[in-house]
Structure 1
Amino acid sequence: MKVVVTGGHGFLGWHLRVRLRALTDHQVVAIGRADLDRLDTELKDADALIHLAGVNRGTDEEVEQGNVALAQMVGRAVRDSGQLSCVVFANSLHAGADTPYGRGKAQAGILLADSATTRGARFVDVVLPNLFGEHGRPNYNSFVATFVRAVVDERLPTIDDRPVELLHVQRASADLIGALEPGPSEMVRPRGEDTSVTQVWELLRGMHHLYRGGELPALTTQLEVDLFNTLRAAMFPQTYPMRPTSHRDERGDLVECVRSHGGTGQSFVSTSMPGVTRGDHFHLGKVERFLVVRGQAMINLRRLFHDEVISFAVSADSPAIVDMPTMWAHNIVNTGVDELVTFFWTHTMHDPLEPDTYAERVRPRVGSVR
């Protein structure tokens, strides 16, 4: 299936493309603001459109009319398409509110639905609550991204407490992909986690305090895992490698690999001969830790749909922890002349039916070695 994604280079668009890469064989074409002129051409032979592009910053008129104008342009392309059978709209819980954004999104939904009907395509209106997740932009995508930046910078943000429904962007992406399945035109309303602004701040601050002190926070709920992965993304790569506590006496060395405040997990050790590469995959949600305990290695990571490779030269002579950020392809290469022994830890037990491991090579175009 060929799927065209407008807004494909934005926050939600990037996450959606990662999930499509992990779980489908669809041909995905990302359309950004700079290449909207390609939309008509790409839709000529497309099977589905997921419309994410929108305007949420600017004057009142720019926000309201910007969303309407986008929908009008996309609608024309939908009507002129060749074989389009499904149009999915990433709508907002705030659509219909008496605000420029609410009015603009509501009108955009009406225009797209009409265009899909004219074309004879299904229309799925996916109404999303407040989204958050890895690589969100502070003061733009989510207050969670703003809080994460403040935690990392060790400063206190302005906190206006209120109840809030939060949905991790990967969960939103799952519903958008699910909307591609055959069925009637419909409205889909994914449910997030009910929490509060203050509770999110306290969770993030507590996680950061424990993590910087060498401990992994309790990861007992999905919200805690999602917030922790969001925090780790903001800390990468500046925080790494982290130096674990090492104890030495006449018997030898004892290195603390994982200190966990709670939750389940699994530890394992691998050996690799000189020149061997392990990994070349990524995870959507798994928290994973690497620690070389014998030999020397290079740990390489690349964020999906980016070119730069970040590399860490690590050695058992100076134990160093590198935690793999979610949605970054990674591998570890034995760069020494002896056998490499590596300790691995994940926050979940291995499930062969749902391993959360997706093949993706780290194509080395090294940007920096740390």
Structure 2
Amino acid sequence: MKKIGITGQEGFVGKHLYNTLKLTPEAFELVPYDISFFSDDEKMKNFVQNCDVIVHLAAMNRHDDPQVIYDTNIALVDKIISALEETGSKAHVLFSSSSQEERDNLYGKSKKEGREMFIKWAEKSGGNFTGLIIPNVFGPFGKPNYNSFIATFCHQLTHGETPKIDNDGVVHLIYVGELVQEIIGQINLGESKAVYEVPYTSTNKVSEVLAKLENYKNLYFHGNEIPELKTDFDYHLFNTFRCYFDIQNHYPIKFTKNTDPRGAFVEIIRLGIGGQCSFSTTVPGITRGNHYHTRKIERFAVIKGKALIQLRKIDTDEVLDFYLDGEEPAFVDMPIWYTHNIKNIGEEELYTIFWINEPYDPEDADTYFEEV
């Protein structure tokens, strides 16, 4: 078992890495970290001493004064190196640098010089170092106007704003989940690499990405239809888009109920992809679920009885409650990285239809149990 410490684990990539490593506790032990360690030498030394691997993600990349960005990032690297030297640590350090290293800006300069500082430490101490050159990253829960243009577009399209393209260039992208797997791969490899260029997984013009997101808005956000998703990039982009809804106010969505003397007809889902559709009956007082997915798209549709559907984003305490009644059939879609359940709160059997975008595979279930 490797003891892993992640600086900046409260950030976009750090949180995804932290939550993914938690899924395999038999392989990785996560060393507690707090941003305050950088202002307390003893806490930083204690942190370093407890780590077999340090993934240094903490950095500043936005500020009105570029010099502040440069000074801050160099100081963070210096703090870690000082702790490594004082403790004699031989930890494997992985440093997140950027494709902006070669650009003429102080952020790129801080990343390049920070990587070179770690290389010198490794050469002097005999420690291991991997310098990760990371392309543009996107994924769920990135901050708009901060982490990526995709985060900005997703937020704008789901909050009544109109995206604007300033530069319709070609962008090399990697999904945050793919980046996390690259980092874990380098952790497991355990070899020094002064430079490891993390391969991008898709290439798109900014306008092409926006066109896809606008299609998701029209089909899914407004029309409740699952769009056609042909590539891995499409799946990742769609799952990213879904995480920017105001979930509490968006769900539950009522179906259109068509009635005539024969009874009623309700369309449950319209989609451009396949998957698995199933139904369940649940006796009063019973709760199903209490698990989350990291990639699957899932819909719960209540058609008979009374239900409480609850969602909670991993690593948060806020529980979202949705009350559904089969008298007015409705559905809630499950965002990735939200643990969820459904409880029969009525006095009769609850009838629920479930749709998920891929058939269940016990060898790769993408289902992780955690109480809401």
Scaled to the shorter chain, the TM-score interval is: over 0.9
> What is the 5 A alignment of 1:295-314?
295-314=305-324
What per-residue deviation string (whole Å, max 9, x for no partner) do you get for residues 42-67 of structure 1?
22222211110111112121122221
Corresponding position: 1:79 with 2:85 = yes
Q: CA deviation at 1:84?
A: 4.7
What per-residue deviation string (whole Å, max 9, x for no partner) do you get for residues 49-93 of structure 1?
111011111212112222111111111222334665321112211
Structure 1 CA distance for aligned equivalents of residues 123 and 76 of structure 2: 18
Structure 2 CA distance for aligned equivalents of residues 298 and 166 of structure 1: 38
Corresponding position: 1:242 with 2:253 = yes
- The answer to whether the Cα contact below 8 Å between 1:214 and 1:244 also exists between their aligned partners in 2 is no
Q: CA deviation at 1:259?
A: 0.4
Of the structure 1 ranges 84-93 and 208-217, higher mean CA displacement relative to structure 2 is found in: 84-93
Of the structure 1 ranges 185-194 and 127-136, higher mean CA displacement relative to structure 2 is found in: 185-194
> What is the 5 A alignment of 1:327-366?
327-362=337-372
Match of 1:223 among 229, 233, 248: 233
Q: CA deviation at 1:142?
A: 0.6
Corresponding position: 1:144 with 2:153 = no
**Matched position secondary structure for 1:22:** coil
Structure 2 CA distance for aligned equivalents of residues 204 and 94 of structure 1: 26
Whichever residue aligns with residue 108 of structure 2, its letter is: G
- The answer to whether the Cα contact below 8 Å between 1:126 and 1:189 also exists between their aligned partners in 2 is yes
- Name the counterpart of 2:187: 180
Of the structure 1 ranges 309-318 and 115-124, higher mean CA displacement relative to structure 2 is found in: 115-124
Q: CA deviation at 1:355?
A: 1.2
- The answer to whether the Cα contact below 8 Å between 1:229 and 1:285 also exists between their aligned partners in 2 is yes
Q: CA deviation at 1:350?
A: 2.0
Corresponding position: 1:50 with 2:55 = yes
Match of 2:70 among 57, 64, 75: 64
- Name the counterpart of 1:368: none
Q: CA deviation at 1:240?
A: 1.2
What per-residue deviation string (whole Å, max 9, x for no partner) do you get for residues 149-173 of structure 1?
1211233222021100111111111
**Matched position secondary structure for 1:302:** strand
Structure 2 CA distance for aligned equivalents of residues 296 and 84 of structure 1: 58
Match of 1:39 among 44, 64, 73: 44
Whichever residue aligns with residue 115 of structure 1, its letter is: W
**Matched position secondary structure for 1:348:** coil
Q: CA deviation at 1:288?
A: 0.7
- Name the counterpart of 1:27: 29
Structure 2 CA distance for aligned equivalents of residues 136 and 150 of structure 1: 13
- Mark the CA change 1:240 to 1:65 in structure 2 (over 3 Å): closer, same or farther: same
Match of 1:194 among 194, 203, 223: 203
- The answer to whether the Cα contact below 8 Å between 1:279 and 1:332 also exists between their aligned partners in 2 is yes
Structure 2 CA distance for aligned equivalents of residues 178 and 122 of structure 1: 15
> Which 4+ runs in 1 deviate beyond 6 A?
none
- The answer to whether the Cα contact below 8 Å between 2:31 and 2:50 also exists between their aligned partners in 1 is no
- Name the counterpart of 1:126: 132
Match of 1:115 among 98, 109, 121: 121
- Mark the CA change 1:164 to 1:218 in structure 2 (over 3 Å): closer, same or farther: same
Match of 1:161 among 159, 168, 171: 168
Corresponding position: 1:9 with 2:10 = yes
Structure 1 CA distance for aligned equivalents of residues 29 and 154 of structure 2: 34
Of the structure 1 ranges 179-188 and 3-12, higher mean CA displacement relative to structure 2 is found in: 179-188
**Matched position secondary structure for 1:280:** strand
**Matched position secondary structure for 1:54:** coil
Structure 1 CA distance for aligned equivalents of residues 47 and 126 of structure 2: 18
Corresponding position: 1:233 with 2:243 = yes
Structure 2 CA distance for aligned equivalents of residues 100 and 310 of structure 1: 42
Structure 2 CA distance for aligned equivalents of residues 112 and 93 of structure 1: 18
Structure 2 CA distance for aligned equivalents of residues 56 and 258 of structure 1: 42
- Mark the CA change 1:119 to 1:361 in structure 2 (over 3 Å): closer, same or farther: farther
Of the structure 1 ranges 235-244 and 29-38, higher mean CA displacement relative to structure 2 is found in: 29-38
Q: CA deviation at 1:326?
A: 0.5
Q: CA deviation at 1:184?
A: 2.0
- The answer to whether the Cα contact below 8 Å between 1:290 and 1:323 also exists between their aligned partners in 2 is yes
Corresponding position: 1:103 with 2:109 = yes
In the alignment of these two chains, the number of paired residues is: 361
What per-residue deviation string (whole Å, max 9, x for no partner) do you get for residues 233-255 of structure 1?
11141311112222111222221
What per-residue deviation string (whole Å, max 9, x for no partner) do you get for residues 178-205 of structure 1?
2111442122423221001101111101
Structure 1 CA distance for aligned equivalents of residues 157 and 343 of structure 2: 33
TM-score between both structures, scaled by the size of structure 1: 0.92
TM-score between both structures, scaled by the size of structure 2: 0.92
Structure 2 CA distance for aligned equivalents of residues 247 and 113 of structure 1: 68
Match of 2:300 among 290, 306, 328: 290
Q: CA deviation at 1:298?
A: 1.1
- Mark the CA change 1:139 to 1:18 in structure 2 (over 3 Å): closer, same or farther: same
Whichever residue aligns with residue 143 of structure 2, its letter is: R
**Matched position secondary structure for 2:83:** helix
Q: CA deviation at 1:35?
A: 4.3
- Mark the CA change 1:195 to 1:2 in structure 2 (over 3 Å): closer, same or farther: same
- The answer to whether the Cα contact below 8 Å between 1:9 and 1:31 also exists between their aligned partners in 2 is no
- Mark the CA change 1:30 to 1:326 in structure 2 (over 3 Å): closer, same or farther: farther
Structure 2 CA distance for aligned equivalents of residues 96 and 115 of structure 1: 22
